[in-house]
Chains A and B, each alone.
Chain A
Amino acid sequence: MINKLTLQNFCVSYGTKSVIDAMNGEFFVGAVNLVVGRAGSGKSSLLLAMAGFHKEFSGSIATDGDKFIPDGNFSLTFQNPESLFFNPTVGDEIEFSLRMLNFPASQIRSEAENWLRRWGLEPDLYYHRHPFELSGGEKRRVALAACTVARMPLILLDEPLAGLDGSGQKSLASILESLAREHIVVVVTHEPEIFLTPTSNILFLREGQGSWFNGNDFLRQALTDNLFYPLPEWYYTAVRPYKNEPFLPVINAVEVGKFLQKAGQPCS
């Protein structure tokens, strides 16, 4: 098990263009780690560099003091779920990671089916279908299930919310929250409010520089300065009255949404 991942003087570049400049900080177990920032700020590049797919980086990544080598110990979902598919059936896609980790053969099928069900896809309906035949949201769920089924020590997700409906987003937030108890989960997203908790670890990337926040501080900053990070209007309206409280009461969008629905207010 890896407890924390430490970035030291971490720089990512494309040729002569620097995307992330001498960043220091930590991702850790216990809460979902979020990476936010505008398009082109280097979020996806950071994940690709951590996974070893993008080679133009300098600095180091350490795990509990040792150098981190990405080799069979991480999973990564790409922005485009189709980039992840190469098997003829959904079942094969889900089973792949388990086979790679030498999971007991007799348990692979049942484990894969259970995990698929956890992501809201009934195995009887989906297990033998070709991944490319599915709808956008179903593809996303299959990709997420395929990447998380093996519960790797480091789980990297690049914009996992895209294409998911409301229930899919709730499942995702709930599954990632439970995975984050024992694994390092790093999520690149444009909708951090879905995952926010007061203890969330947030890396905010802007103009090559990384700033680290906990959920409470990030939200307070966003409520104070709309240019810092634009929150959805309904969420902003719901949370703004509490911005001067020492601790913001409920900051997870799913909970805020439930609260607003009970109060009879729109939350779209």
Chain B
Amino acid sequence: MQLGYQPGNSFLYAFNPLVKGVLCLAAIMFFSLNSFGVALMAGILAAMLLTAWLGRLPLKEILLSIKKIAVLLLIVSLVQGFRGNGFELEPAFEAILRIVGVFLVAGFYLVVSPQSELMYFWEVVFRPLSFFRLPARELALVMVIAVRFLPVMLAEIDRIRMAQTARGARLGKAGIFSTAAAIMPLMIPTLAQAIIRAEELAEAMEARGYRVAGVRTRYQQYTFKPADIMAGIFAILTISAAIYSRL
């Protein structure tokens, strides 16, 4: 099961798309930068999960998707855990918490944001670039397509893995090093497929009237409500706290 937008009507869905994006970036920065230690970070992660539960997000699906980064978590925890005097549990666990935190935040954001909202957010983020005559809307579209196609690429990796297993490859039963080595043959076909898909997508968009220099209007109009302002302040405080903890 790949994560993607799932319709809902809880308070998490009701935020302005700009606020959703800022909250997501703030949370990612928080998990990347903070030095609050394992206990506090675990507590914050738990609070985040509680919020997601209250917001009626499909928590089970999101948590199960962590399986996809299990190998990454293992490698990072080993790299972080081994210090001069042997293996230490705390830095290893801290590294896991940071990655899981970022992964979950990204998952929540994808679940509550339809493509049109993602597009709007990135457009606003890139808007300053238009002062330098750079194609802000097109850059936003590139970002949205990249995010939108991540689940597709993960599905593609699953498909290639199945195709290899269906012809005698033994990918799943090997040890950690063999598993890591088995990922490499997946990379080139996946990249090749991504390029083929990009060509097909470009043709499909042009077939429906998309032109790079075309003037476009916006169908959805977004407004700011008091809850959005509160959430925006919360996001700024979160980033400030993370930066402050580093000072």
Instruction: Determine whether the beta carbon of A88 is less than 8 Å from that of B166.
Output: no
Residues of B within 8 A of A189 (CB): none
Residues of B within 8 A of A86 (CB): 159-160, 163-164, 189, 193
Interface size (B, Cβ < 8 Å)? 17
Instruction: Determine whether the beta carbon of B163 is less than 8 Å from that of A152.
Output: no
Closest to B162 in A: A53
Least distance between A152 CB and chain B CB atoms (Å)? 6
Instruction: Determine whether the beta carbon of A72 is less than 8 Å from that of B169.
Output: yes
Instruction: Determine whether the beta carbon of A100 is less than 8 Å from that of B166.
Output: no
Interface size (A, Cβ < 8 Å)? 26
A52 and B165 alpha carbons, distance in the complex (Å)? 10
Instruction: Determine whether the beta carbon of A83 is less than 8 Å from that of B163.
Output: yes
Closest to B157 in A: A86
Residues of A within 8 A of B192 (CB): 88
Instruction: Determine whether the beta carbon of A101 is less than 8 Å from that of B168.
Output: yes
List residues 173-209 of chain A with CB under 8 A from any CB of chain B.
Answer: none
From A52, A77, A96, give the contact of B164 (CB < 8 A). A96
Question: DSSP class of B's interface residues: helix, strand, loop or mixed?
Answer: helix
Does chain B have a CB within 8 A of A75?
yes
A96 and B186 alpha carbons, distance in the complex (Å)? 13
List residues 62-112 of chain A with CB under 8 A from any CB of chain B.
Answer: 71-78, 83-88, 96-97, 100-101
From A75, A132, A152, give the contact of B196 (CB < 8 A). A132
Does chain A have a CB within 8 A of B170?
yes
Instruction: Determine whether the beta carbon of B173 is less than 8 Å from that of A83.
Output: no
From B160, B168, B173, B189, give the contact of A100 (CB < 8 A). B168
Does chain B have a CB within 8 A of A219?
no
List residues 39-78 of chain A with CB under 8 A from any CB of chain B.
Answer: 51-53, 71-78
Instruction: Determine whether the beta carbon of B163 is less than 8 Å from that of A85.
Output: yes
- How many A-B pairs with Cβ below 8 Å? 55
From B162, B167, B170, B189, give the contact of A97 (CB < 8 A). B167
Closest to B169 in A: A100
Does chain B have a CB within 8 A of A142?
no
Residues of B within 8 A of A71 (CB): 170, 172-173
Instruction: Determine whether the beta carbon of A150 is less than 8 Å from that of B167.
Output: yes
Residues of B within 8 A of A84 (CB): 163, 166-167
A132 and B189 alpha carbons, distance in the complex (Å)? 13
Instruction: Determine whether the beta carbon of B168 is less than 8 Å from that of A51.
Output: no
Instruction: Determine whether the beta carbon of B166 is less than 8 Å from that of A147.
Output: yes
Least distance between A133 CB and chain B CB atoms (Å)? 11
Instruction: Determine whether the beta carbon of A72 is less than 8 Å from that of B163.
Output: no
Q: Quick one: CB contact mask for B157-190 with A, threshold 8 Å, 1 for yes?
A: 0011011111111101100000000000000010
A88 and B196 alpha carbons, distance in the complex (Å)? 11
List residues 104-156 of chain A with CB under 8 A from any CB of chain B.
Answer: 132, 146-147, 150, 152
A132 and B172 alpha carbons, distance in the complex (Å)? 27
Instruction: Determine whether the beta carbon of A72 is less than 8 Å from that of B189.
Output: no
A74 and B170 alpha carbons, distance in the complex (Å)? 11
Residues of A within 8 A of B163 (CB): 78, 83-86
Question: Which of A's residues lie within 8 Å of B, judged by CB?
Answer: 51-53, 71-78, 83-88, 96-97, 100-101, 132, 146-147, 150, 152
**What are 10 of the A-B contact pairs (CB < 8 Å)?**
A72-B168, A72-B170, A73-B168, A74-B166, A84-B163, A84-B167, A86-B164, A86-B189, A100-B167, A147-B166
Question: Which of B's residues lie within 8 Å of A, judged by CB?
Answer: 159-160, 162-170, 172-173, 189, 192-193, 196
